Amino acid sequence: MKLTFYKYQGTGNDFIIIDNREKLFPASNTELVAKLCHRKFGIGADGLILLENDAKSDFKMIYFNADGNTSTMCGNGGRCLVAFAKYLNIINEKTTFNAIDGLHHATIKDELVSLQMIDVNEIKTKPNASFLNTGSPHHVQMVKNLKEFNVAQEGAKLRYGLYGATGSNINFVEQIDDESFSVRTYERGVEDETLSCGTGVTAVAIAMHNAGIAKKNTISVHVLGGQLQVSFTKNDGYTDVFLNGPANLVFKGEIEC
Protein backbone atom coordinates (compact mmCIF):
# COMPACT_ATOMS: atom_id res chain seq x y z
CA MET A 1 0.00 0.00 0.00
CA LYS A 2 1.33 3.44 -0.95
CA LEU A 3 0.42 5.85 1.83
CA THR A 4 0.28 9.64 1.50
CA PHE A 5 1.13 11.36 4.77
CA TYR A 6 1.80 14.81 6.17
CA LYS A 7 4.31 15.67 8.87
CA TYR A 8 3.31 18.45 11.29
CA GLN A 9 4.94 19.84 14.42
CA GLY A 10 3.78 22.02 17.28
CA THR A 11 6.68 23.39 19.35
CA GLY A 12 8.71 20.31 18.44
CA ASN A 13 5.98 17.77 19.21
CA ASP A 14 5.82 16.03 15.82
CA PHE A 15 3.06 13.98 14.22
CA ILE A 16 2.30 11.93 11.14
CA ILE A 17 -1.15 13.03 9.94
CA ILE A 18 -3.24 11.07 7.46
CA ASP A 19 -6.44 12.11 5.68
CA ASN A 20 -8.56 9.03 6.43
CA ARG A 21 -11.96 10.30 5.35
CA GLU A 22 -12.18 7.36 2.93
CA LYS A 23 -11.29 4.91 5.75
CA LEU A 24 -8.45 3.33 3.77
CA PHE A 25 -5.86 3.29 6.56
CA PRO A 26 -5.74 0.03 8.59
CA ALA A 27 -6.22 1.68 11.98
CA SER A 28 -6.21 -1.65 13.86
CA ASN A 29 -2.69 -2.44 12.66
CA THR A 30 -0.70 -1.48 15.77
CA GLU A 31 2.59 -2.71 14.31
CA LEU A 32 2.20 -0.53 11.22
CA VAL A 33 1.51 2.60 13.29
CA ALA A 34 4.54 1.90 15.48
CA LYS A 35 6.72 1.30 12.42
CA LEU A 36 5.64 4.55 10.78
CA CYS A 37 6.41 6.46 13.98
CA HIS A 38 9.83 4.78 14.43
CA ARG A 39 12.63 7.29 13.89
CA LYS A 40 15.03 4.72 12.39
CA PHE A 41 12.78 2.38 10.41
CA GLY A 42 9.88 4.69 9.54
CA ILE A 43 8.95 8.32 9.09
CA GLY A 44 9.52 9.21 12.74
CA ALA A 45 7.06 10.96 15.04
CA ASP A 46 5.76 11.30 18.59
CA GLY A 47 2.38 10.04 17.37
CA LEU A 48 0.12 9.40 14.42
CA ILE A 49 -3.22 11.13 13.81
CA LEU A 50 -6.08 10.20 11.50
CA LEU A 51 -8.51 12.87 10.28
CA GLU A 52 -11.91 11.28 9.68
CA ASN A 53 -15.45 12.39 8.92
CA ASP A 54 -17.76 13.03 11.87
CA ALA A 55 -21.53 13.43 11.98
CA LYS A 56 -21.44 15.86 14.93
CA SER A 57 -18.62 18.19 13.92
CA ASP A 58 -16.25 19.28 11.15
CA PHE A 59 -14.03 16.21 11.55
CA LYS A 60 -12.88 13.54 13.99
CA MET A 61 -9.42 13.11 15.53
CA ILE A 62 -8.09 9.57 16.06
CA TYR A 63 -4.77 9.63 17.93
CA PHE A 64 -2.14 6.92 18.31
CA ASN A 65 0.95 7.03 20.50
CA ALA A 66 4.32 6.22 18.93
CA ASP A 67 4.02 2.67 20.31
CA GLY A 68 1.06 2.10 17.98
CA ASN A 69 -1.70 2.12 20.58
CA THR A 70 -4.67 4.47 20.57
CA SER A 71 -4.38 7.01 23.34
CA THR A 72 -6.02 9.83 25.21
CA MET A 73 -6.18 13.45 24.01
CA CYS A 74 -3.07 15.12 22.61
CA GLY A 75 -3.15 18.93 22.79
CA ASN A 76 -0.38 19.71 20.33
CA GLY A 77 -1.68 16.97 18.05
CA GLY A 78 -5.12 18.56 18.14
CA ARG A 79 -3.66 21.94 17.22
CA CYS A 80 -1.71 20.38 14.34
CA LEU A 81 -4.84 18.62 13.11
CA VAL A 82 -6.70 21.93 13.04
CA ALA A 83 -3.92 23.34 10.85
CA PHE A 84 -4.18 20.26 8.61
CA ALA A 85 -7.97 20.65 8.32
CA LYS A 86 -7.45 24.21 7.14
CA TYR A 87 -4.82 23.00 4.66
CA LEU A 88 -7.43 20.60 3.25
CA ASN A 89 -10.00 23.46 3.10
CA ILE A 90 -12.31 21.59 5.46
CA ILE A 91 -12.42 24.65 7.73
CA ASN A 92 -11.59 28.32 7.55
CA GLU A 93 -10.66 30.12 10.79
CA LYS A 94 -13.01 28.43 13.27
CA THR A 95 -13.82 24.78 13.87
CA THR A 96 -15.40 22.24 16.17
CA PHE A 97 -14.00 18.70 16.02
CA ASN A 98 -14.53 15.45 17.88
CA ALA A 99 -11.83 13.65 19.86
CA ILE A 100 -11.65 10.85 22.40
CA ASP A 101 -12.48 13.26 25.24
CA GLY A 102 -15.37 14.98 23.42
CA LEU A 103 -15.90 18.05 21.26
CA HIS A 104 -13.21 20.72 20.98
CA HIS A 105 -13.51 24.26 19.66
CA ALA A 106 -10.53 25.92 18.00
CA THR A 107 -9.49 28.93 15.95
CA ILE A 108 -6.55 29.34 13.59
CA LYS A 109 -4.95 32.49 12.26
CA ASP A 110 -1.85 32.18 10.12
CA GLU A 111 0.03 29.33 11.89
CA LEU A 112 -1.24 30.07 15.41
CA VAL A 113 -3.87 27.69 16.76
CA SER A 114 -5.96 28.25 19.88
CA LEU A 115 -7.52 24.99 21.08
CA GLN A 116 -10.12 24.67 23.81
CA MET A 117 -9.26 21.87 26.21
CA ILE A 118 -11.59 20.03 28.59
CA ASP A 119 -12.69 21.56 31.90
CA VAL A 120 -10.69 20.47 34.94
CA ASN A 121 -12.73 19.92 38.09
CA GLU A 122 -10.44 17.68 40.12
CA ILE A 123 -6.82 18.20 41.11
CA LYS A 124 -5.16 15.75 43.47
CA THR A 125 -2.38 17.29 45.53
CA LYS A 126 0.57 15.28 46.79
CA PRO A 127 3.36 16.40 49.18
CA ASN A 128 5.53 17.69 46.32
CA ALA A 129 3.32 17.31 43.24
CA SER A 130 -0.13 17.52 41.68
CA PHE A 131 -2.09 15.07 39.55
CA LEU A 132 -4.82 16.09 37.13
CA ASN A 133 -6.42 15.10 33.84
CA THR A 134 -6.41 17.63 30.99
CA GLY A 135 -7.53 15.11 28.39
CA SER A 136 -4.60 12.90 29.39
CA PRO A 137 -3.34 12.16 32.93
CA HIS A 138 -0.48 14.33 34.19
CA HIS A 139 1.83 14.38 37.18
CA VAL A 140 3.22 17.89 37.79
CA GLN A 141 6.29 18.32 40.00
CA MET A 142 8.55 21.30 40.63
CA VAL A 143 12.32 20.73 40.56
CA LYS A 144 15.48 22.80 40.76
CA ASN A 145 17.98 23.15 37.91
CA LEU A 146 15.56 21.80 35.31
CA LYS A 147 18.09 22.24 32.52
CA GLU A 148 20.34 19.56 34.00
CA PHE A 149 17.54 17.32 35.31
CA ASN A 150 17.47 13.71 34.05
CA VAL A 151 13.90 13.73 32.73
CA ALA A 152 14.05 10.36 30.95
CA GLN A 153 15.34 8.50 34.00
CA GLU A 154 13.26 10.21 36.68
CA GLY A 155 10.16 10.35 34.48
CA ALA A 156 10.28 6.62 33.82
CA LYS A 157 10.55 5.92 37.55
CA LEU A 158 7.40 7.88 38.29
CA ARG A 159 5.51 6.80 35.17
CA TYR A 160 5.81 3.12 36.13
CA GLY A 161 6.62 3.16 39.83
CA LEU A 162 3.99 5.57 41.07
CA TYR A 163 1.26 5.07 38.47
CA GLY A 164 1.66 1.41 37.50
CA ALA A 165 1.04 -0.21 34.13
CA THR A 166 -1.52 2.38 32.96
CA GLY A 167 0.91 5.11 33.85
CA SER A 168 0.83 8.88 33.65
CA ASN A 169 2.68 11.57 31.78
CA ILE A 170 5.28 13.21 34.02
CA ASN A 171 6.02 16.95 33.98
CA PHE A 172 8.97 18.58 35.72
CA VAL A 173 8.63 22.33 36.25
CA GLU A 174 10.83 25.28 37.18
CA GLN A 175 9.47 28.79 37.73
CA ILE A 176 10.90 31.59 35.58
CA ASP A 177 8.90 34.49 37.00
CA ASP A 178 5.43 35.19 38.43
CA GLU A 179 3.53 34.09 35.31
CA SER A 180 5.91 31.91 33.31
CA PHE A 181 7.41 28.46 33.79
CA SER A 182 9.79 26.07 32.08
CA VAL A 183 8.57 22.50 31.59
CA ARG A 184 10.12 19.23 30.47
CA THR A 185 7.83 16.24 29.96
CA TYR A 186 8.20 12.45 29.91
CA GLU A 187 5.36 11.06 27.78
CA ARG A 188 3.89 7.61 28.19
CA GLY A 189 3.46 5.83 24.85
CA VAL A 190 6.57 7.58 23.59
CA GLU A 191 8.38 6.34 26.73
CA ASP A 192 10.85 9.18 26.60
CA GLU A 193 11.09 12.93 26.89
CA THR A 194 9.46 14.94 24.11
CA LEU A 195 10.20 18.50 23.04
CA SER A 196 6.67 19.56 24.03
CA CYS A 197 3.38 18.19 25.35
CA GLY A 198 0.19 20.23 24.97
CA THR A 199 -1.92 18.50 27.62
CA GLY A 200 1.15 18.60 29.88
CA VAL A 201 1.64 22.33 29.43
CA THR A 202 -2.07 22.81 30.19
CA ALA A 203 -1.77 20.68 33.33
CA VAL A 204 1.27 22.63 34.51
CA ALA A 205 -0.44 26.02 34.10
CA ILE A 206 -3.53 24.88 36.01
CA ALA A 207 -1.51 23.14 38.72
CA MET A 208 0.66 26.22 39.28
CA HIS A 209 -2.43 28.43 39.56
CA ASN A 210 -4.19 25.97 41.85
CA ALA A 211 -1.14 25.92 44.13
CA GLY A 212 -1.12 29.73 44.33
CA ILE A 213 2.27 29.98 42.63
CA ALA A 214 0.78 31.69 39.57
CA LYS A 215 -1.81 34.42 40.16
CA LYS A 216 -3.05 35.35 36.69
CA ASN A 217 -5.27 33.31 34.40
CA THR A 218 -2.93 33.52 31.40
CA ILE A 219 0.36 31.68 31.79
CA SER A 220 3.35 31.31 29.45
CA VAL A 221 5.05 27.95 29.40
CA HIS A 222 8.49 27.39 27.87
CA VAL A 223 9.23 23.93 26.47
CA LEU A 224 12.30 22.59 24.69
CA GLY A 225 10.57 23.17 21.33
CA GLY A 226 9.38 26.72 21.91
CA GLN A 227 6.69 28.54 23.88
CA LEU A 228 2.99 27.96 24.49
CA GLN A 229 0.35 29.93 26.36
CA VAL A 230 -2.50 28.64 28.48
CA SER A 231 -5.51 30.70 29.55
CA PHE A 232 -8.50 29.71 31.68
CA THR A 233 -11.34 30.86 33.91
CA LYS A 234 -11.36 29.81 37.56
CA ASN A 235 -14.75 29.13 39.17
CA ASP A 236 -15.44 25.98 41.17
CA GLY A 237 -13.07 24.34 38.73
CA TYR A 238 -11.15 25.45 35.65
CA THR A 239 -13.23 26.24 32.56
CA ASP A 240 -12.67 27.98 29.20
CA VAL A 241 -9.22 26.39 29.09
CA PHE A 242 -7.31 27.28 25.91
CA LEU A 243 -3.94 26.08 24.66
CA ASN A 244 -2.35 28.56 22.27
CA GLY A 245 0.69 28.23 20.02
CA PRO A 246 2.12 27.52 16.56
CA ALA A 247 1.38 24.46 14.42
CA ASN A 248 3.38 23.99 11.22
CA LEU A 249 3.44 21.70 8.19
CA VAL A 250 6.94 20.24 7.86
CA PHE A 251 6.55 18.16 4.70
CA LYS A 252 4.27 15.88 2.67
CA GLY A 253 5.38 12.49 1.46
CA GLU A 254 4.56 8.96 0.32
CA ILE A 255 5.69 5.70 1.86
CA GLU A 256 5.25 2.05 0.92
CA CYS A 257 3.77 0.09 3.80
Where residue 1 falls among pLDDT bands split at 50, 70, 90?
A: confident
Give the pTM: 0.95
Q: What is the pLDDT of residues 131-159, one digit of tens each?
A: 999 999 999 999 999 999 999 999 999 99
Q: What pLDDT is stored for residue 165 in this prediction?
A: 85
Q: Report percent pLDDT > 70 for the chain.
A: 100
Q: Are 50 and 25 a contacting pair, CB within 8 Å?
A: yes
Q: Are 170 and 158 a contacting pair, CB within 8 Å?
A: yes
User: Domains in the chain, start-ordered, CATH in brackets?
Assistant: 2-107+248-256 (3.10.310.10), 123-246 (3.10.310.10)
H helix or E strand, kind and range, residue 65: strand 60-65
Q: Are 63 and 70 a contacting pair, CB within 8 Å?
A: yes
Where residue 257 falls among pLDDT bands split at 50, 70, 90?
A: confident
Please give the positions annotated as active site.
Answer: 74, 197
- Cα-flanking dihedrals φ and ψ of residue 29, to 5°? -85, 85
